[in-house]
Structure 1
Amino acid sequence: MLLNRENLQSLSRTLRALVFQTRDSYTPFWPRIALEARTEGRVGVYSWIEDFPVMRPWEGERQVQNLSLRTVELVNGDWELTFAVNRNDVEDDLLDQISANAREYAFRWAQHDDYLITTLLVEGFQRKGPDGANFFGTHRVGKGQFSNAGTAPLSRESFRAALTQMRSLTDSRGYPLGFFYGKPILMVGPSLEYAAKEIVELPTLPQGGANPDYGAAEILVNPWLAGPYANYWFLVDGTRPIRPLVLQRRRDPEWVAKVDPEDENVFKHNQFVFGVSERKAAGYLYWQLAYGSTGAGS
């Protein structure tokens, strides 16, 4: 390829199309457990409701139900992914190799939102949610307490106990919240995939007979639940308009290309540089819609 400005600008447009097309072809799992929000400023502000409103007999005047509101603030962060293309590869028309590498970079970029949401989950046993308690921990509900965290390894018994526990949650007035009665998500890592399938995807029990847990949850295998998080597992109610987590966006992704033959990076490193950047943040909302276990117990 002749390395003039016209050809290099054309290369930039081609790579941009490839990168964004690859990103758009990826199907993320985060929308199933996190709310997407857009902000117009540095900080996004959300109202967290402790007690949800309920219907009541209309006798006399309407009664405004005073809800306990707390404010959640999320500060947008800057994120970037940058990759370089060797000048000689462009000059020698190695476009198939360049395109393949660009698509792989794009795939990693597309996964990042899933990674951010997974980070919230695995750190939720130590990080605080809107009510001031650890997101996965013991929460005050009225005069009592309720825990959405455990340490039990994934088993049929621990799955049933977690599901029953989350279905039993009430608000501070004793009114049942009714969460987890739809088909919740059972999120596991690769090492727990087949244990999860035995619990909710096989119609019969290993020892014979009908499986009463068949279809009780939908399995989501999360590749980041590995290594120190291999035994972690989560139950999430993703059927409601609200979500346990939020992914906030401030600015749509921008494409930057350094393809001027006289650019300093080309002079020093013999490379053309391409990249994307965006502003976003992720945070906690409703612990009532998520249960987490580290799987570290006996």
Structure 2
Amino acid sequence: MIVNDQALALAFKGFKTTYTDAYAAAPAHFEKVAMTVPSGGRDETYGWLGQFPQLREWLDGERIVKDLQAHGFSITNRKFESTVGVRREDIADDRLGVFKPMFAEMGHLARQHPDELVFGLLKAGFTELGYDGQPFFDPDHPAKDAGGVDVTVSNIQTGTGPAWFLLDTSRAVKPLIWQEREKYEFQNITAPNDPTVFMTDIYRYGVRARVNAGLGLWQLAFGSKADLTAANYAAARAAMQMLRGDQGRILGINPTALVVSPDLEDAARHVLNTETNDGGGSNPWKGTAELIVTPYVA
């Protein structure tokens, strides 16, 4: 093959098609648990987190405007890349098919990269601080009861085992945030007058992105390190459903997803999928949540 602009353009098109097809086919779960937010700058501040705009009876007087107070909670975008080199002689010798698995893997891993960031942050939620200055999973989240008295609220179940998580993913606002400044883009450097190409005879192909993950509303998430049993699962569901916001109003939380690491998959399927419970009789928890198994919370 004669290596000219046309040949290089065709090679890039083929590599990009392989990358794109693999990207589209790769399984990913982050969109189920994180709301995607477009970013217009270096970082974004989420001053509205913590506000539940619940309806109230309008009696006399004016509306009560909820102040979207700034908690000072922001997410700074991070830059990521993956780059490979293809030698000029490999293109000249028409060995492009050899590289297709590599570009397919690049696309697969780019699609799953948000899973790594989002679920990795969920795993870190026992120590990582949320918008209220407390660890995302914590027994002492500050709130106010119906009388305006300061109280604390818990979204954690203590234990010493592997962590598992119960999430409400049914709302427009999700427990986690996926922030995108620049989406994953496939690029190349093949110009013959590029200094690196000229000196090395190697063409560069790669993917880059500016993105990040962040913790959203802790009220929509429950973290547990207790044994994953039907009893503990039931207790976690009840605790979430009984969560109250400021002034003691029920938030209407509805747990819809159970996130576990691979070592808890058997226990999770036992809770969610079996027809009968261990003591006999029907299993009341069958089908009550979507199971998400990911190694990124292990």
Normalising by structure 2, we get a TM-score of 0.69
Amino acid of the residue matched to residue 143 of structure 2? V
Contact 2:22 2:104 in 1 (8 A): yes
1:123 aligns with 2:124: yes
Q: 1:147 aligns with which of 135, 146, 154?
A: 154
In structure 1, what is the equivalent of residue 252 of structure 2? 178
What one-letter code is carried by the residue in structure 2 that aligns with 1:33?
V
CA contact (8 A) 2:275 2:283 kept: yes
> Is contact 2:143–2:245 with CA below 8 Å preserved after alignment?
yes
Alpha carbons 2:42, 2:76 under 8 Å: kept: yes
Matched residues, number? 224
Shift of 1:51: 4.4
Query: What do you get for the CA RMSD once the two structures are aligned?
Result: 2.0
1:187 paired to 2:259: yes
Q: What does residue 14 of structure 2 align with?
A: 14
Q: What aligned pairs does 1:1-298 form with structure 2 within 5 A after superposition?
A: 1-67=1-67, 69=69, 70-138=71-139, 139-142=141-144, 143-150=150-157, 151-180=225-254, 184-225=256-297, 229=298
User: How far off its partner does 1:82 sit?
Assistant: 0.9
Report the Cα offset of residue 102 of structure 1.
0.8
Measure how far apart 1:168 and its partner are.
1.1
- Could you say what secondary structure the match of 1:82 adopts? strand
Higher relative contact order (CA 8 A, sep 6+): 1
2-side partners of 1:155 and 1:203: how far apart? 15
Instruction: Normalising by structure 1, report the TM-score.
Output: 0.69
* Cα separation, 1, equivalents of 2:261 and 2:226: 15
Structure 1 unmatched ranges of 5 or more: 230-298
| Gaps in structure 2 of 5+ consecutive residues | 145-149, 158-224
Structure 1 runs, 4 residues or longer, greater than 4 Å off: none
Secondary structure of residue in 1 paired with 2:119: helix
State the 1:78 CA deviation: 1.2
Q: CA deviation at 1:68?
A: 6.2
Provide the secondary structure at the position in 2 that maps to 1:114: helix
Report if aligned partners of 1:53, 1:65 keep a CA contact under 8 Å in 2: no
Identity %: 29
1:145 counterpart SS class: strand
